[in-house]
Amino acid sequence: MKKKIYALLLLLFVLVIGGYYYAYYPAINIHKPSFWAGMVIVCLVLGAIFGINSIRYKFDRNKRIKNFGYLPFASKMFSVLAIILFLVAFIGNIIGSPLLRARKYASLLTVENKDFAADLEETEHITDLALMDTESARIFGNRKIGSLSEVVSQYEVERDYTQISIQKSPYKVSALKYASFFKWWNNRDKGIPGYVKVNPVNSNAEYVELAQGMKYVPSAYFNYNLMRHVQLRYPTKIISGYNFEIDDEGNPYYICPTVSARVGLFGGMDVNGIIICNPVDGSCSYYNINSIPSWVDNAYDGHLLCDKYNWFGTLSGGFINSVFGQKDCKQVTDDFGYKIIGDDVWIYTGVTSVNGDQSNIGFVMMNQRTSEAKYYKVSGAEEHSAMAAAEGEVQEKGYDAAFPSLINVGGVPTYIMVLKDDGGLVKMYAMVNVEQYNIVATASTQNEVFANYKKLLKTKGGNGQPDISTESRTDVIKVTDIQFINTEDGNMVYIKDENHNVYKQKFEDNEQLVRITVGDTIKISYEPSEDGINYLSSYEFVPAASSTSTGAP
């Protein structure tokens, strides 16, 4: 009877451990603190069980059994083992702390100093820039799915959108998810039917329907749950989340980075590889970080890259210096944006002093596939100060600025961002000079804000800034129509020529436009636009006699 009870208790203990492992699927890895905590708890529980029974048999003569001595021995053995495991974990944690290994942390990221104007390609057009933030992508994605009645009744769009590059073009993608447990149960055999792809350049949202549904997804349950499925396939890997991506052919995959400690037992967690899971059939493949496929864009999470730069920026001079002297200590600002260079996705963020002032001392760009890092020494406004400057230009409208993108305009570091209304819709565009953030241009179109900004740089961009060459063109046209239209941005003047080309300018920028009438022949200077509505910079009449009349730009 006693043996049966022990067997049942042992079985119950194994079932509890197994149930916990299935429910939470922790990584079986010495670089995971929870692994050591679990081992210590198991040893303490076993030690307590043997200890309690040892006490019972010791004081109850009627229950003494042969070989009674193994009970106190087993109790002591598991208790000592628990203490040893705790001490190993504790010492391993101390050895890997920044206090003792500051320069090791700093060496986890190699940062190359670059010249901003020489390294970043000069921006000649801004109509092809990805300015949409994730919140706007959610709005457009939800609207697209909301128009598909057969989809919206069973599925929702995941909140997380992944920034990717497809053949050097930027996209934000997100998979659908099951709306509830019962909707998963009813649709588990066919899976998730598709995903949403949003173009952050033109705000076009597209629903892509798959030939076969995705069954292994984060919103599924039991063995079909993505993280449980991948972790049980690779029980010794420490998986730090997942990102939904598509390859160049549009096939869906989940990218699951794996990490390992590079300082001591637990410190300096860094990516050492990725697991690519096909959510349709559940097949998984592991790739070392140096051999991942070229179409994968998100091996390194942006927050991890920021942590690595902060280790580099604060601990290069040692731990004591990072706390007291803080000589040459710097850190990234509290947010980051994305930039597509070639076929890779880079994050960029400002770098400021550890004192936390409102200005940047430079910028850092880090590759999410390779962790390559480039530092540009450019002092000026940090991102949120630039956003506030742009919002101040249109404060009467109450628009909110999205996190800006960093571009090179004639060698001048420049923020460009969208201004959104309360509904999250893009209403205007703004450009802010990084080094002189009192130079702010706003407009309702990208071409117009670009022209306005370049004009401001010509008139206000002193202090040794280079002259900004424009793409202005000149032409002689005959006016066939002229209209004054009141818009949200004020009165706009639209001029049409005999070839049906249209030129526009704000009336408040040049009140001399009121002198133009239909039939006049004028010589104009303008910024060409892809949509055929060009931005007028200046004009002058072409006189019938020798005298001329000039309109102020």
Q: In this model, does residue 549 exceed pLDDT 50?
A: no
Q: Where are the domains of the chain?
A: 2-95, 134-299, 381-460, 473-551
Nearest-angstrom CA–CA distance, 355 and 378: 18
Among 78-87, 294-303, 335-344, 521-530, name the one with the lowest average pLDDT: 521-530
The percent of residues above 90 in pLDDT, for the chain, comes to 65
Predicted local distance difference test score (pLDDT) of residue 471 = 61
Rounded mean pLDDT, 361-385 = 94
The total of other beta-carbon atoms located within 10 Å of residue 294's CB is: 10
Predicted local distance difference test score (pLDDT) of residue 466 = 45
- Tell me: the pLDDT tens digits for 189-204? 999 999 999 998 888 8
Predicted local distance difference test score (pLDDT) of residue 235 = 97
- Tell me: the pLDDT tens digits for 390-409? 999 999 999 999 999 999 99
Q: In this model, does residue 463 exceed pLDDT 50?
A: no
Buried b (16+ CB within 10 A) or exposed e, 57-88: beeeeeeeeeeeeebbebbeebbebbeebbee
Q: In this model, does residue 552 exceed pLDDT 70?
A: no
Question: In sequence order, which residues have a C-beta less than 8 Å from that of residue 551 and are 6 or more positions away?
Answer: 510, 512, 513, 515, 516, 522, 538, 539, 540, 541
The percent of residues above 70 in pLDDT, for the chain, comes to 91
Nearest-angstrom CA–CA distance, 33 and 55: 33
pLDDT: is 14 or 392 the higher one? 392
Rounded mean pLDDT, 15-43 = 94
Between the ranges 70-74, 83-87, 134-138, where is the mean pLDDT highest? Answer: 83-87
Q: In this model, does residue 547 exceed pLDDT 50?
A: no
Q: Which architecture characterizes domain 473-551 according to CATH?
A: Beta Barrel (2.40)
- Tell me: the pLDDT tens digits for 402-459? 999 999 998 899 999 999 998 888 889 999 999 988 899 998 888 788 888 988 888 7
Q: What pTM, to 2 d.p., does this model score?
A: 0.82
Nearest-angstrom CA–CA distance, 217 and 177: 8
The total of other beta-carbon atoms located within 10 Å of residue 230's CB is: 23
> Most distant CA pair in the chain: distance in Å?
131
Question: Can you read off the two tokens belonging to residue 505?
Answer: 């300018």
Output the average pLDDT for the chain: 88
State the Cα angle at 349 between 347 and 352, rounded to 5°.
155
Locus of tokens 């306005």: 452
Helices (H), 250-351: 302-315, 319-323
DSSP, collapsed to helix, strand or coil, labels residue 536 as: strand
Predicted local distance difference test score (pLDDT) of residue 531 = 66
Predicted local distance difference test score (pLDDT) of residue 152 = 87
Cβ-in-10-Å burial (0-12, 13-18, 19+) of 522 comes to buried
Q: In this model, does residue 315 exceed pLDDT 50?
A: yes
Residue 462: phi and psi, rounded to 5, are -80, -140
Nearest-angstrom CA–CA distance, 159 and 145: 13
Express the helix, strand and coil content of the chain in percent, nearest 5 each: 35, 35, 35
Nearest-angstrom CA–CA distance, 475 and 360: 43
The beta strand positions in 382-510, using DSSP E, are: 400-401, 405-409, 412-420, 426-433, 440-443, 473-487, 490-497, 502-506
Rounded mean pLDDT, 493-510 = 88
In terms of Cα–Cα distance, which of 500, 543, 504 is closest to 521?
A: 543
Predicted local distance difference test score (pLDDT) of residue 525 = 87
Predicted local distance difference test score (pLDDT) of residue 548 = 41
Contact 461, 455 (CB under 8 A): no
Rounded mean pLDDT, 460-468 = 49
- Tell me: the pLDDT tens digits for 138-169? 999 999 998 888 898 999 999 999 999 998 88
Predicted local distance difference test score (pLDDT) of residue 68 = 54
